[in-house]
């Protein structure tokens, strides 16, 4: 029992470290996306590599992340935005998971950058992918096959400085909704 509890605590700490690294790297643009396999009519699948940052040396890799397409991603975010119900238990905003501080946790709070990176990395990377494609004026990942049959991803001709803005990304993917509640007071 003790071994299982310790193993679960270590796994949770590792997941928290990965989520923090996802968030930090998205803001500082220290990440890369490479196609995992050519799309065969289904979702684009990518491997995302991002720095561990202050969590250690090296990089984390989210392997085989299916990118959610525009309409589906928009519908998911719209549904979450519209849901004003209160979630029972779980995180209440103070980080201890006991639900004791009385703050109401709503599904729309799950799209906050600090939460979406751990709650749904797939939605987060899909959002970042769509926002970057729009910012760079590309339509996304384009495939070409090398002489040995290996798949490659077309990259933009010029290196651009891309800065991820979570609220703008949400506004781009799911327009017509007020995402400004996600901005901090200092912004």
Taking only the tens place, the pLDDT of each residue in 98-155 is 445 556 677 878 888 888 888 889 999 998 888 887 777 665 444 333 344 444 444 4
Q: In this prediction, what percent of the chain has a pLDDT beyond 90?
A: 3
- Alpha-carbon separation of residue 140 from 30, 53, 60 (angstroms): 19, 27, 23
Helix intervals (H) in the chain:
2-28, 70-82, 113-119, 121-136, 166-173
Q: What is the pTM for the complete model shown?
A: 0.74
Distance CA 179, CA 169 (A): 10
Would you give the DSSP letter of residue 85?
P
Q: Is pLDDT of 187 > 70?
A: no
In the prediction, which pLDDT does 39 show?
59
Q: Is pLDDT of 61 > 80?
A: yes
Which element (helix H / strand E) includes 31? strand 31-37
- Alpha-carbon separation of residue 45 from 11, 39, 57, 63, 121 (angstroms): 25, 7, 26, 9, 13
Mean pLDDT over all residues of the chain? 75
Q: Convert the pLDDT of each residue in 68-81 to its tens digit.
A: 887 888 888 888 88
- Does residue 59 contact residue 49 with C-beta atoms inside 8 Å? yes
């Amino acid at each position: 029992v003790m071994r299982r509890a310790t193993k679960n605590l270590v796994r949770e700490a590792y997941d928290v470290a990965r989520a923090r690294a996802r968030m930090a790297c998205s803001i500082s643009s220290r990440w890369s996306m490479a196609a995992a396999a050519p799309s065969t009519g289904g979702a684009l699948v990518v491997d995302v590599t991002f720095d561990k940052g202050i969590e250690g040396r090296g990089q984390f890799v989210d392997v085989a992340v299916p990118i959610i397409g525009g309409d589906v991603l928009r519908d998911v975010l719209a549904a979450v935005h519209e849901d004003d119900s209160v979630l029972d238990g779980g995180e209440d905003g103070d980080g201890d998971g006991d639900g004791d501080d009385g703050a109401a946790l709503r599904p729309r709070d799950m799209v906050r950058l600090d939460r979406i990176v751990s709650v749904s990395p797939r939605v987060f990377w899909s959002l970042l992918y769509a926002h970057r494609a729009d910012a760079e004026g590309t339509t996304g990942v384009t495939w070409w096959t090398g002489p040995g049959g290996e798949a490659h991803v077309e990259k933009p001709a010029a290196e651009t400085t891309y800065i991820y803005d979570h609220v703008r990304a949400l506004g781009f993917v799911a327009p017509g909704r007020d995402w400004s509640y996600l901005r901090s007071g200092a912004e």
